Amino acid sequence: MTRVSLHIRQIFLAVAIALVMTAIGCSPTPRYQRIPAGVISTTIEPPPVGLRFETTVTLKGTLWKDDSLLLTYSDGRKDYYGRVSADDQVNLSIHQEWFPVYQVNPLEKNAYKQSVTGAETLRHLDRQHWTALVKRIENALVNPIKPGTGILINVRDEEIFVYRRLDGSLAECDFMEKPASVRLVENHRLETMNEGIFLFLTAYLETIGVSDPHLVMETGETGPYARPFVFVDRNEKRFHFLSLEPYTFGSMPSMPVTNTGKVGWHLFARSYLFELFNRPVSSLSRLGLFLYDTAWDATRGIWISTFRFPDAENVNIPPLYRGGSMDRKGWEDHLDRVVGTGTRTSGRIELLVGGDQFFPRLVDAVIGAERSVKLRTYIFDRDDYAVRLADLLKKRSKDVNVQVMLDGLGTLMAQNKAAGSMPPDHEAPLGITLYLTDQSKVRLVSLTNPWFTGDHTKTTIIDSRKAFIGGMNIGREYRWEWHDLMMVVDGPLVSVIEREFDKTWAHGQILGDVVFSGYVLANPPTPESPRGYPIRVLRTLPYDSQVYRSQLHAIRQAKGYIFIQNAYFSDTTIIHELVKARLRGVDVRVIIPMEGNHGIMNASNVTAANTLLKYGVRVFTYPGMSHVKAAVYDGWACLGSANFDKLSFRVNKEMNLGSSDPDFVQNLLDSVFAPDFEAAVELTQPLPAGWNNTIASIIASQL
């Protein structure tokens, strides 16, 4: 096959996939997350039209009738009317543990007048009382902290950093501007502190002599998705935020013409034409591997019959096996034969669940870096949060070595969309690569993508002493919206992660094949004394699928249980092996998001979920976008950046960590799987599926 015909084949493949994705519906996460069919009614009411106020809204009247709250409010120029009831609760996606938020439905004046007949008047308090209450809470949180330390308070999509100077005085600043000498000691999310805040609220109301069992308070919030009122129910010991505008999740088109041109330049000019001259050995070798993998996967898919498993037909689903789990030491010895002893290292892992836990730790580490920051990511977006982090990296580059390495295609494709919750006044830069390097000393490499290969790894190394690793990219969704998982690690493991960064950085230079070879020869790995507990670094490289092989063998070896959470579930062999594991009595449970961020994967996940359900696997749908990539097999954990699809298992560069340490595995079960099983909805019947799901599963198996 000639080089020209290969290019034509790639173009036709890309066009075909794009057309099918359009037919299936490739719009990312919708405005409101859906739960499985059978749990909701067949007809879904369209979301109410909301109101956005840039000036403070005041209450003029609050009434209660038939378990509904009737409101009159004003922006100083005009009176507005609204109604809210228990049926109007807004699903805040990942924020299942937040205070309930209810949507105020606008009413016309005449409709409001008809509704208030026989209504009971409720007391309402102005925003000065809410401000005083919040100040009391902040003081209670801040008072215990010592000079030179501070706390971060997360409220909505904002960060408030309060700290004590060395002289003991209090100060407040944007968290990105935190003094390096001040240590972050506590991190709070105000919306999760329900019981504690209610105690403060009760005490405050007693001090001002208010004993009403129900009342409404103004908060003074304005702007996008503001919650200007709070309904207090002292009998139930709860309070509920009231919002005037529906919260918008998902994404919207952003400069599609400009970005399409940039993607075309990057993909065809940089990744194909220039790559053949710049890195000829790796480019041609990846072409060979791409063709081999495509042929092998297509053949295997036909043999397994694409989610129809002949060897599992007419087989009764057995009860769960009660004879224990696989031997962990024996499993680790088996892994040595599967992925090699070179994957072994040691260290300690701390789990960081969600953006509230990860990004403050990352920012604090970047601010405190003394020598170097090495950030590697698949996507570095250009939304408001990504730009703020870029500004911090640019600032730090004046004092320390800052290297940023991103996947060119992943970043460009992400920038074709903007988060639906983006502040309307945000002005995105034309490109994040130019923005990062403009008037700064940031050293940046934008990796190319020959034959659709990519670098999906997400790591950040600080001063060669600690590293962050996991599944989060840099952007608003990861900070504020999605459910996701990262880790912060120390010990000899950090050196392994940093070496992988340095090798990839060398390969991303001009004449990368030569520079890469020189780096490897000049910098052989140096063994370190073990510290912490045993950990494996498992990678997906163009020639070595350690992440795939290890988990495939883990499924085959498991006796007791298999728990997996992943957003992209399309590998036919993995699904087949999970079915076989369940049919030998293993407790197999899978968590997928009901609505992910890729239309074709959403449709494919329906087929995967129905197939697994058919053979007795317990399938849970997370009520929002879960981007977590973690699994536990009989006490062995594997988690990191890799999805359960072809790209992560055999095409893209990935990095996962594996460990059998009992305390770490139990922490993962307690911190991630237990709460997510509880928050998710378990399927009891197949999801509706059609021809589009079948086509999607065929295409997704090649992605």
Please check whether residue 126 is in contact with residue 147, taking contact to mean a CB–CB distance below 8 angstroms: no
As a whole number of Å, the end-to-end CA separation of the chain is 22
Token duo for residue 615: 């053979």
Q: Which residue has the higher pLDDT, 607 or 589?
A: 589
DSSP string for residues in 351-405:
EEESHHHHHHHHHHHHHH-SSEEEEEES-B--SHHHHHHHHHHHHHTTTSEEEEE
Q: Identify the pLDDT of residue 36.
A: 35
Burial letters 112-146, b for 16+ CB under 10 A, else e: beebbeebeebebbebebbeebbebbbeebbeebe
Quick one: which of 567, 575, 602, 580 has its CA closest to 699?
602
Residue 561's φ and ψ, nearest 5 degrees, are -155, 155
Closest CA to 279 of 543, 7, 521, 514: 514
Query: What proportion of the chain, given as a percentage, has pLDDT over 90?
Result: 56
> Which region among 94-98, 366-370, 577-581 has the lowest average model confidence (pLDDT)?
94-98
Q: How confident is the model at residue 382 (pLDDT cuts 50, 70, 90)?
A: very high
Q: How confident is the model at residue 419 (pLDDT cuts 50, 70, 90)?
A: confident
Mean pLDDT of 254-283: 73
SS3 543: coil
Q: Which amino acid is at 311?
A: D
Neighbours of 392 (CB within 10 A): 20
DSSP assignment letter at 274? I
Q: Using alpha carbons, select from 455, 330, 473 the residue that is nearest to residue 389.
A: 473
Q: Is pLDDT at 37 greater than 60 in this prediction?
A: no
Which run of H or of E encompasses 592? strand 587-593
> Sorting pLDDT into bands at 50, 70 and 90, what band is 210?
very high
Instruction: Say if residue 378's pLDDT is above 70.
Output: yes
Q: Tell whether the model's pLDDT for residue 390 goes beyond 90.
A: yes
Residue 426 and residue 406: Cα distance in Å, rounded?
A: 23
pLDDT at 526: 87
Read off the pLDDT of residues 107-157 as tens digits, 9 standing for 90 and up: 999 999 999 989 999 999 999 999 999 888 888 888 889 999 999 999 878
- Classify 40 as helix, strand or coil: strand
Instruction: Please tell me the predicted confidence (pLDDT) of residue 21.
Output: 32
Q: Say whether pLDDT at 13 is over 90.
A: no
* C-alpha angle 517-549-527 in degrees, rounded to nearest 5: 45
Q: Higher-confidence residue: 137 or 225?
A: 137
Tokens standing for residue 150: 């501070």
Residue 307: phi, psi to the nearest 5? 70, 15
Predicted pLDDT of residue 92: 56
Return the pLDDT at 549: 96
Cα separation, 302 vs 437, whole angstroms: 48
Token pair listed for 20: 């099918």
- In this prediction, residue 598 carries a pLDDT of 57
Structure-token pair, residue 378? 């698949």
Give the residue among 231, 260, 225, 261 at the shortest CA–CA distance from 243: 225
> How confident is the model at residue 157, as a pLDDT?
85
- Residue 176 scores a pLDDT above 90: yes
pLDDT at 628 over 90: yes
Q: How confident is the model at residue 694 (pLDDT cuts 50, 70, 90)?
A: low
The pLDDT score that the predictor gives to residue 97 is 66
Q: Is the pLDDT of residue 299 over 70?
A: no
Q: How confident is the model at residue 602 (pLDDT cuts 50, 70, 90)?
A: low
DSSP, collapsed to helix, strand or coil, labels residue 61 as strand
Q: Of the given ranges (72-76, 88-92, 347-351, 403-407), which has the lowest mean pLDDT?
A: 88-92
Task: Name the more confident of 218 and 650.
Answer: 218
- 154 contacts 188 by C-beta, under 8 angstroms: yes
**Mean pLDDT over each residue of the chain, to the nearest integer:** 84
303 confidence band (pLDDT: 50, 70, 90): low
Closest CA to 661 of 254, 373, 393, 344: 344
Question: pLDDT tier at 298 (50, 70, 90 boundaries)?
Answer: low
* Axis crossing angle, helix 493-507 with helix 512-522, rounded to the nearest 10: 150
Tell whether the model's pLDDT for residue 249 goes beyond 70.
no
Q: Return the pLDDT at 290.
A: 74
518-576: pLDDT as tens digits = 999 999 888 899 999 999 999 998 888 999 999 999 999 999 999 999 998 888 889 99
Q: What's the mean pLDDT in 160-166?
A: 92
The average pLDDT across 494-499 equals: 98
Percent helix, strand, coil in the chain, to 5, is: 40, 25, 35
DSSP secondary structure letters along 465-491: TEEEEES--BSHIIIII-B-EEEEEES
Helices (H) and strands (E) in the chain, counts: 22, 32
Among the residue ranges 53-67, 113-127, 305-319, 483-497, the one predicted with the least confidence is: 305-319
What local confidence, expressed as pLDDT, does residue 271 receive? 78
Report the C-alpha gap between 62 and 218 in whole angstroms. 11
Predicted confidence band at 15 (pLDDT cuts at 50, 70, 90)?
very low
Which pLDDT band holds residue 18 (cuts at 50, 70, 90)? very low
- What is the rounded CA–CA span in Å between residue 220 and residue 537? 49
Q: Band of the pLDDT at 238, cuts 50, 70, 90?
A: confident
DSSP character string of 240-272: EEEESS----SEEE-SHHHHHHHHHIIIIIIII
Strand partners, 171: 163
Least confident of 260-264, 357-361, 528-532: 260-264
CB 615 within 8 A of CB 584: no
Ranked by mean pLDDT, which of 348-357, 406-415, 447-456, 643-652 comes out on top? 348-357
- CA-to-CA distance for 334 and 382, rounded, in angstroms? 44
- The confidence score (pLDDT) of residue 308 equals 63
Helix/strand/coil for 14: helix
Distance CA 345, CA 691 (A): 47
